[in-house]
Chains A and B, each alone.
Chain A
Amino acid sequence: MSKTILSVKNLKKLYKNNRGVQDITLSLDEGDVVGLLGPNGSGKTTAMKAIMGMTSVDNGEIRIFNHDIDTDFEAAIQNVGCLIEAPALYENMTAYQNLKLAARFYPNMSRSETHDRINHVMRLVNLEKYANDKAGRFSLGMKQRLGIALALLSCPKLVILDEPTNGLDIEGVVHIRDVVTDMAKSGGASFLIAGHVASELEKMCNKAAIIYDGQLMAFESMDKILESHPSLEDYFLETVAHQRRHVTGI
């Protein structure tokens, strides 16, 4: 039986404008690659921010590796890497320095391990040539790659990525997809990946969660989805159309 890595129960977070998420319940097992599919403004980023403890929640329980994110933050987040919205980079510092700042939060890594690990993640995202260039001079795609490198730096067992292929060219998209698939298969890492491009998530994920208007519409394995539908996109459209009919009564 696979181990539950992330468990979200009845998550509710509403902003002043009444947007946000409510009644989100999902769980992620070891080795899972879960795609969180939804249109812009559906609540994907809010859900991810709540999971990472970046925002307070109105209701619900979030546990990562069986540690409550609210009461046991450090233990919960110890083996988690994430990239939410745009990469948070210090633009007046080099790519290497940005990674080094992040590495200091993992005191168990020795100096040589840190150096090796930084070089490894730089190679993984094809940025090794630009290690000593300032992040402010990077293109959008390069910044995104550096953001992914920051998320993978600590050898996380759970990786949360919000639209990770934003700003990447076709080769970059394929490359990041391969990195995710390899890490999930060989490294045993689990991924929660948000996106609004169904075809992309279909290729990467073994489970899909449909989020619409702040609510979780469906959470299903990719095999089951593709048994009954030609693609994840069709499944998404059908689920959303069903919800609209339910709301409008037409």
Chain B
Amino acid sequence: MKLITANLKNESAKIFAHKKYIVFMIIEVIICIGAVCSKLLAARLSNGMLTMSNISTSITMMSLFFEAVIPFISIMAVCELFSAEFHSKTIRSIFVRPAERYKVYIGKISAVLILAVINMAVVFIASSAADFAVSGKVVSFGYSLSAYILDIIPMLVVILMAVMLNQIVKSSTMAMFLCIIVYAGLKVMGISFSSLSGLVFTGYMQWHKIWLGGGMPYLAASFKALLLLGYGLTFGAVGYYIFRFKEC
């Protein structure tokens, strides 16, 4: 466990040594503030005809951030910690240390997941704080918090998919390109072919709607949970198998 923690600290240090991840968070805060301001502006311009004070900004922000921005940031971090390290051969600095490869693998994935969770937290806090500053209340705080926590799981599946794809290609640019194409392709496929939409994991990026909606469909929710578990285990296992024997 000590070595997994050590590796997690190292990988997090490497991620945050890149200033772009801090810049992304600043941009997220700006977008959240901008969304609340536009809500306010719409209400003013329509003389109160359009009122959105009962809509939680943190929930409306989820479509943009959970479907596109945070998966993109996570994919970028995965490419930096996996294919870019193999490409630049800096992975050797880890492989010559007394840590089994599975510990290295878990440490890297955990670091990316933590980055995704931090980004989610930034969006949640920024949008809730902006809501509170403007209207003096935070609408559906408990619902929003539960939704953000639940949506960590599909985000982990996306990370595991990106990790697996990163083991296949050598160049980090190629890996980034491939991950985005596959992610976007699956999204489009899920939208275009309704028969497939229930089977593609990218359709569950906001799966909190299943869990937190009115009337809990236990069977359907359990099926989706098992589906995500299956995807996660497959991506994680295939990715690890290739990573375990990869030469550097």
Q: Which residues of A contact B (CB under 8 A)?
A: 49, 52-56, 73-75, 77-78, 80, 82, 84-86, 88-90, 92-93, 97-98, 101-102, 104-107, 150
Q: Which of B3, B18, B92 contacts A84 (CB 8 A)?
A: B92
Q: Chain B 151-166, CB within 8 Å of chain A: the 1/0 string?
A: 0000000000000000
> Which residues of A sit under 8 angstroms from B93, Cβ to Cβ?
88-90, 98, 101-102, 150
Q: Which of A54, A80, A102, A107 contacts B248 (CB 8 A)?
A: A54
A105 in contact with B13 given A84-B92, A88-B90, A89-B90 (CB within 8 Å): no
Q: Which residues of B contact A (CB under 8 A)?
A: 2-3, 6-7, 9-10, 13-14, 17-18, 89-93, 95-100, 245, 247-248
Q: Is the CB of B245 within 8 A of A92?
A: no
Cα-based distance from A107 to B9 in the complex (angstroms): 12
A90 in contact with B17 given A56-B245, A107-B2 (CB within 8 Å): yes
Q: Is the CB of A52 within 8 A of B13?
A: no
Q: Is the CB of A73 within 8 A of B90?
A: no
Q: How far is the CB of B76 from chain A (nearest CB, A)?
A: 15
> Which residues of A sit under 8 angstroms from B95, Cβ to Cβ?
52-54
Q: Which of B6, B9, B91, B100 contacts A74 (CB 8 A)?
A: B100
A84 in contact with B96 given A90-B17, A104-B6, A107-B6 (CB within 8 Å): yes
Interface of A is mostly: loop
Q: How far is the CB of B223 from chain A (nearest CB, A)?
A: 40
Q: Is the CB of B248 within 8 A of A77?
A: no
Determine which residue in B91, B98, B100, B248 has the highest number of CB atoms from chain A within 10 A of its CB, and name it.
B98
Q: Is the CB of B3 within 8 A of A107?
A: yes
> Which residues of B sit under 8 angstroms from A55, Cβ to Cβ?
247
> Which residues of B sit under 8 angstroms from A75, Cβ to Cβ?
98
Residue of B nearest to A98 (CB): B93
Residue of B nearest to A55 (CB): B247
> Which residues of A sit under 8 angstroms from B9, Cβ to Cβ?
104
Q: Is the CB of B98 within 8 A of A105?
A: yes
Residue of B nearest to A53 (CB): B95
Q: How far is the CB of A205 from chain B (nearest CB, A)?
A: 22
5 tightest A-B contacts by CB?
Answer: A88-B93, A105-B97, A104-B6, A88-B92, A107-B2
Q: Is the CB of A56 within 8 A of B247?
A: yes
Cα-based distance from A101 to B90 in the complex (angstroms): 12
> Which residues of A sit under 8 angstroms from B245, Cβ to Cβ?
56
Q: Is the CB of A73 within 8 A of B248?
A: no
Q: Is the CB of A86 within 8 A of B247?
A: no
Q: Can you list 20 residue pairs at the A/B interface with Cβ under 8 Å?
A: A49-B247, A52-B95, A52-B96, A54-B95, A55-B247, A56-B247, A74-B99, A82-B96, A86-B89, A88-B90, A88-B91, A90-B90, A97-B13, A101-B13, A101-B14, A102-B93, A104-B7, A104-B9, A107-B2, A150-B93
Q: Is the CB of A101 within 8 A of B10?
A: yes
Q: Which of B18, B96, B247 contacts A77 (CB 8 A)?
A: B96
